[in-house]
Every structure is written in structure tokens, then in C-alpha cells.
Structure 1
Amino acid sequence: MTVELTTAPTPKTRAAPADEAHRQFVTFEVDGRSYGVDIRQVREIRQWTRTTLLPNQPAHTRGVLNLRGTIIPVFDLRVRLGGPALDPTPTNVIVIVQLNDQMIGVVVDAVSDILRVADDEVLDIPGGAESAASEALQGLVTVKDELIGLLDLSLIFGHESAESVAG
């Protein structure tokens, strides 16, 4: 199963007036927690596909994937955020994202929703909340009494994506 996302404006997603700036996030589950990434970075959502392992890679690197002739590195977000490594199952999902000029795959437990969030709804990260995840959080948003961490994947994977394919 492959879902391709388009970010072209439609009547429902046209830019809001300047005083009501909104952003959209694709949300997903990782190790029982909810996170979101900017929808403009997401290129595709794919069902788990076996990857090809490369030698001497960090534990959070799942390998590489041939995506229509383009080799992309695939990373396990659960492990990168300090969680336990698990063998992916068909219920896992690979979110293909664009980081600068490189596409990467990020393994998550499940994709949840697409959120439209007003800039003034994004909460700051409280002081003292230091972890691998908190360093890459742009902020938090509350949806139905649940906190969702808004991730900046370039802070988590930006420096590694090109190195993984190059070896």
C-alpha cells in the first residue's frame, strides 16, 4: 500500500489570513507516543517493506530501499529516540520525507492523521525536559487531551542521511 500526498492548495487548505497562520502535520505513533512532522516534508507513506542492510551502520539504521530507482536510507525512529529495537511487521509504516535535497525513510508504528494547527496552538517545550526527542521537538500541540510532539526530522537525521548511503 502506497499513499502519495500532495500539498497543492485546495479550497480547504488555502493559506489562512496572516492573523490566522496554520500549518499541517502528518501525525504518527512511535513506541506509544504521538508525533507529527510538517506535511510539506512528507512525500509518501508506504507499508513496511524489507530493506537491504548495509555493513557498519548505526543501530537505528534499518538499511536502504529502492524507491522507483532511487536508493534511500531507512531509519527506525523508535530506536533513534531511545526506544527498544523491534522487528518491523506489516503493520509498521515507512514515511518517506524530504530533508533538504535528500529523501529518507522513517519507520514508525502507524500513521494517525493529518492535523491543521494554528501557530498560536503550538506550545513551547518546558525547560528541563531533556532527551533525544526533546532536542528535536519544535513544540507540542494538544489534541483531544493528548500531547503530540512536533518533530524536526532534519535535527534527528539531517547529518546522517547522506552518510548512510555513501557508507
Structure 2
Amino acid sequence: MSSTDLVPTAGTSAVQTQARTDGQQFLTFRVGGEEYGMDILRVQEIRSYEAPTRVANAPSFVKGVVNLRGVIVPILDLRIRLGQPSEYNAFTVVIVLNVAGRVVGVVVDSVSDVLELSAEDIKARPEVPAAMDSRFITGLGKIGERMLILLDIEAMIKSPDFGLVD
């Protein structure tokens, strides 16, 4: 065996390759009566909701900013953005995301769990009129009788509609 036999090709190892083929993990959360999922790799942390400092002339879904260990984090209410009522209670949480080189918090009704979905569990997004732009839906996840709307949270945050990323 030569020394080149021990070098992984294209920067991957057998362990990394295996992890990629086993499935993708999603953080599941609720907004209104729907259950959504987002790529767990975008999630930095989950925090209880605390009223942020308001920002003048911000859109209604931008609740304000919080200081998170020295980082000023904009807080967006995903419920308002998705056209749902936004009542703040003990279950309301902020999912802190790291997207597009920024830290952003999104407010949701509650966080459910982390699920791993195989490619067979993910169906193509439906082409139906919806309140939310279908560009941000990557597919539908099916777990038993549960149906998850899988979001491309990075594309959503980077969209001009949010106005957070140049």
C-alpha cells in the first residue's frame, strides 16, 4: 500500500461520504397550524422569546434587534411573514440562524424536534398558489402521517423581500 492510498480524494473521507448518503437532518417547528422543517446545519441555537429593541421604520415582521453575546441580531417574526397570527406565549421561541454570513433570529410558535429524512421521505414541492413564495419550499417531508413543509431558510433570508442581505 502506498502513501497515496491513505489520502482521501477531493477532501472527503469515507465517514463524510457515508453521512451524506444516510439522509439530511431538519429542525421541525410550527407556525400556525403547519409544521415546517429547515436544514439543521443553519441553526446556531434556540432561545426563548424576549422582546427585542424596536427599530424605527422597520417592516412589521422585523420585531427589532437583540444583543446576543456582543452580536446585534435582527429578530424576524416568521409567523407574520407567512401571514399567520402572532401571539407571544411560553412556547414562542426564536431560532437563531447562521445564514449568508449573518446571524438572524426567526420567531416561530414552537420547535418540535430534529428529524432525519432520507431522499425517499422527501417529495417534490407542489406547484400550487400559496401565501408563501414557493421558491422557498424545497419539498415536502413525509414521516408516517406527518407532512412537513421543508424550507430553504437561507434563500428566504437572502431574498430582497427580507432586505437583510445585499
TM-score tier (shorter): 0.7 to 0.9
How far apart are residue 144 of structure 1 and its match? Answer: 2.7
Query: Secondary structure of 2:123's partner?
Result: coil
Amino acid in structure 1 at the alignment position of 2:23: H
Q: Does the aligned pair in 2 maintain the 1:104–1:161 contact within 8 Å?
A: no
* Higher mean C-alpha displacement, 71-80 vs 87-96: 87-96
Looking at structure 1, the residues matched to 144 and 123 of structure 2 have their Cα atoms a distance apart, in angstroms, of: 15
* 1:48-90 alpha-carbon deviations (Å, 9 max, x no partner): 1110110111111111011001001000111111223x24223
- Aligned CA RMSD, in angstroms, stands at 2.0
How high is the TM-score relative to the length of structure 1?
Answer: 0.81
Looking at structure 2, the residues matched to 150 and 38 of structure 1 have their Cα atoms a distance apart, in angstroms, of: 8
Partner residue, 2:74:
73
State the 4+ residue runs in structure 1 displaced beyond 6 angstroms. Answer: none
Query: Secondary structure of 1:139's partner?
Result: strand
* 1:72-122 alpha-carbon deviations (Å, 9 max, x no partner): 1000111111223x2422320000001110010000111001000112321
Partner residue, 2:132:
132
* 1:9-61 alpha-carbon deviations (Å, 9 max, x no partner): xxxxx656389441100000111110011010000000111101101111111
Looking at structure 2, the residues matched to 70 and 43 of structure 1 have their Cα atoms a distance apart, in angstroms, of: 13
Looking at structure 2, the residues matched to 67 and 146 of structure 1 have their Cα atoms a distance apart, in angstroms, of: 34
Query: Secondary structure of 2:51's partner?
Result: coil
Which is higher, the Rg of structure 1 or of structure 2?
A: 2
Partner residue, 2:93:
93
Unaligned regions of 5+ residues in structure 1, if any?
1-13
How high is the TM-score relative to the length of structure 2?
Answer: 0.81
How far apart are residue 124 of structure 1 and its match? Answer: 0.5
**What is the aligned residue count?**
149
Q: Does the aligned pair in 1 maintain the 2:127–2:134 contact within 8 Å?
A: no
1:102-121, aligned counterparts within 5 Å?
102-121=102-121
* Structure having the larger proportion of residues in helix: 2
Structure 1 residues 156 and 18 mapped into 2: Cα distance closer, same or farther (>3 Å)?
closer
Looking at structure 1, the residues matched to 52 and 90 of structure 2 have their Cα atoms a distance apart, in angstroms, of: 13
Partner residue, 2:152:
152
